[in-house]
Chains A and B, each alone.
Chain A
Amino acid sequence: MSLKLTGTLTLALLAGLASGSLSAKEWKTIRIGTEGAYAPFNFIDANGQVQGFDIEIGKALCAQLQAQCEFITQDWDGIIPALQAGKYDVILASMFITEERKKQVAFTDPYYKAAMTFVAPKEADVQDISPAALAGKVIGAQAGTTQAEYLTQLYGKSDVRLYPTQEAVNLDLASGRLDLQMGDALPLLMWTRTTDDGKCCQTVGEMVTDPKYVGDGVGMAVRLSDDDLRQQLNQALAAIIADGTYQKINAQYFPINIYTMK
């Protein structure tokens, strides 16, 4: 989330937009490019198959569009050039929607939200995360990230400490040197719920989803010329959210709804 973020809100209100009359004439096969190195969103299992949340969403979308799906892995640096070169038609790889990238590719509506969250030790029982309530508290974050900017701007009365890596922040929260930390919601959720040293701590308060800070979320990318495909994907996304397919996939991977971050 340290990427350049936008101030525009383009979160589409998708509920209720589902329609059964999608035509997928032009796109009988959709070739999907993904990275395969960003667990649990997309990764390669021991059998060499791509797996993960992104992949499941892709399969559901293809089913919705009645199209054949083909997954192609591509390293992150080359993922946009390969799209433009026609190696595949869609990037489905947990890509954040940014102004920079919008110049090169067209994004669908976000299929999950970006969010930041506070994390505090369980025994501290933090309820109120307003700047006034956290005055004087020691709060850590990774330097150069959106959350660092957010804390510096809004939490001037707290002792904000910036670390070179997220792992360093986690270490110091677990050791008790920090009262709270702020970071990307999903990695921190996984940290607090699935790791030994993260057990000390829990997410507290509402997540920060203000696009002013976290951008528009994560979307699929197509070539700028393929607006028809983009629209079909948007409709299919709305459909799998409306019929509950999305939520089922979500529940396999994450303890919260990552579409709403609630």
Chain B
Amino acid sequence: MNWQLLSWGPTGWGDELVAGLGITLALALATLPVGLLLGSLSCLLWFRGGPARWLARAYTTLIRGTPELLTLFLVYNGVAMLLNRLLSREHGDFVSLSPFVAGVISLGLVLGGYAAEVLRGAYQSLEFGPREAGLALGMRRYQVLLLIELRPLLQLALPGLGNLWLNLVKDTALVSVIALNDLMRMGTVAVGATRQPFFFYLTVCFIYWGVCMASEWGLARLQLGCRPGGRQGVQPGGHA
């Protein structure tokens, strides 16, 4: 192994990879609130029942039944195209999504679809007692939700949401395909210049691994932090 390949400056790729990691983390962090918001909205729609529930179900089914990569292309190529057609902008002055924005939107949609399920599961396993007590005291439904139920809800949802965060970090790698200079893409650029695919892709994988392990450690701390009073969370299966 030639460690100089990872050195700083014009000859090595260390600084480029770190810059890529920065973009990867920025993308994941920017996506997180978007996805959680979409997930919460979808979850609220579900509990409204009727056509609203139908809409929420269509959204989550679509997201969980189609590949993330397809969502990404759909947003990146399709949405811009639709916008241009709607605004009938045939020449010049085109609307186009930057890869970063397309990444935030598509990964946010994906995260939202899964987060809706986690939140719904958590809400359904909440105890009735506090809710009924609140309502009996004359609180409004939203007051009950915000003042009484939010905290235990988040405690219950945390393990599931933590899993989704780890998935999100790994899914950001897909955005390299539409030329965002994230960690995976910088790895590919380094491979193109040095012809050392094994070394660089392994390095890139190790960096993602590191981020995931650090996240797991952080999430475990977070969980310990809000354990008091909470019950054991629902253990989510599937991809960590």
Task: List residues of A whose CB falls within 8 A of some B CB.
Answer: 103, 164-165, 167-168, 170-171, 174, 196-197
Seed contacts A167-B188, A171-B191; 10 additional CB < 8 Å A-B pairs: A103-B91, A164-B177, A165-B192, A167-B192, A168-B188, A168-B192, A170-B192, A171-B197, A174-B195, A197-B195
Chain B residues with CB under 8 A of A165 = 188, 192
Chain A residues with CB under 8 A of B197 = 171
Question: In whole angstroms, how far apart are the Cα atoms of A108 and B177 in the complex?
Answer: 36
Residue of B nearest to A198 (CB): B195
Chain A residues with CB under 8 A of B191 = 167, 171
17 A–B contacts from the bound complex (CB under 8 Å)? A103-B91, A164-B177, A165-B188, A165-B192, A167-B188, A167-B191, A167-B192, A168-B188, A168-B192, A170-B192, A171-B191, A171-B192, A171-B195, A171-B197, A174-B195, A196-B195, A197-B195
* Interface residue tally for chain B (C-beta within 8 Å): 7
- The count of A-to-B residue pairs whose CB atoms sit within 8 angstroms is 17
Question: In whole angstroms, how far apart are the Cα atoms of A48 and B192 in the complex?
Answer: 27
Secondary structure dominating the interface of A: helix
A111 to chain B, nearest CB (A): 27
Chain A residues with CB under 8 A of B91 = 103
A141 to chain B, nearest CB (A): 16
Chain A residues with CB under 8 A of B177 = 164
Residue of B nearest to A174 (CB): B195
Question: In whole angstroms, how far apart are the Cα atoms of A165 and B184 in the complex?
Answer: 14
Chain B residues with CB under 8 A of A164 = 177
Task: List residues of B whose CB falls within 8 A of some A CB.
Answer: 91, 177, 188, 191-192, 195, 197
| Interface pairs A-B: 3 shortest CB-CB | A167-B192, A197-B195, A164-B177
Residue of A nearest to B197 (CB): A171
Question: In whole angstroms, how far apart are the Cα atoms of A164 and B188 in the complex?
Answer: 11
Residue of B nearest to A166 (CB): B192
Residue of A nearest to B177 (CB): A164
Question: In whole angstroms, how far apart are the Cα atoms of A237 and B172 in the complex?
Answer: 50
Residue of A nearest to B189 (CB): A167
Question: In whole angstroms, how far apart are the Cα atoms of A154 and B75 in the complex?
Answer: 31
A63 to chain B, nearest CB (A): 36
Chain B residues with CB under 8 A of A196 = 195
Most chain-A CB neighbours within 10 Å: which of B188, B195, B197? B195
Chain B residues with CB under 8 A of A170 = 192
B130 to chain A, nearest CB (A): 53
A133 to chain B, nearest CB (A): 30
Residue of B nearest to A167 (CB): B192
Chain A residues with CB under 8 A of B188 = 165, 167-168
Chain A residues with CB under 8 A of B192 = 165, 167-168, 170-171
Most chain-B CB neighbours within 10 Å: which of A165, A170, A174, A197? A165
Question: In whole angstroms, how far apart are the Cα atoms of A93 and B125 in the complex?
Answer: 65
Chain B residues with CB under 8 A of A168 = 188, 192
Question: In whole angstroms, how far apart are the Cα atoms of A47 and B239 in the complex?
Answer: 54
A80 to chain B, nearest CB (A): 11
Question: In whole angstroms, how far apart are the Cα atoms of A167 and B185 in the complex?
Answer: 12
Chain A residues with CB under 8 A of B195 = 171, 174, 196-197
A186 to chain B, nearest CB (A): 18
Question: In whole angstroms, how far apart are the Cα atoms of A83 and B195 in the complex?
Answer: 39
Question: In whole angstroms, how far apart are the Cα atoms of A170 and B177 in the complex?
Answer: 18
Question: In whole angstroms, how far apart are the Cα atoms of A167 and B200 in the complex?
Answer: 15
B17 to chain A, nearest CB (A): 17
B31 to chain A, nearest CB (A): 22
B128 to chain A, nearest CB (A): 53
Question: In whole angstroms, how far apart are the Cα atoms of A196 and B195 in the complex?
Answer: 10
Question: In whole angstroms, how far apart are the Cα atoms of A197 and B191 in the complex?
Answer: 12
Question: In whole angstroms, how far apart are the Cα atoms of A170 and B195 in the complex?
Answer: 10
Question: In whole angstroms, how far apart are the Cα atoms of A197 and B177 in the complex?
Answer: 24
Question: In whole angstroms, how far apart are the Cα atoms of A153 and B27 in the complex?
Answer: 38
Question: In whole angstroms, how far apart are the Cα atoms of A88 and B199 in the complex?
Answer: 46
Chain B residues with CB under 8 A of A171 = 191-192, 195, 197
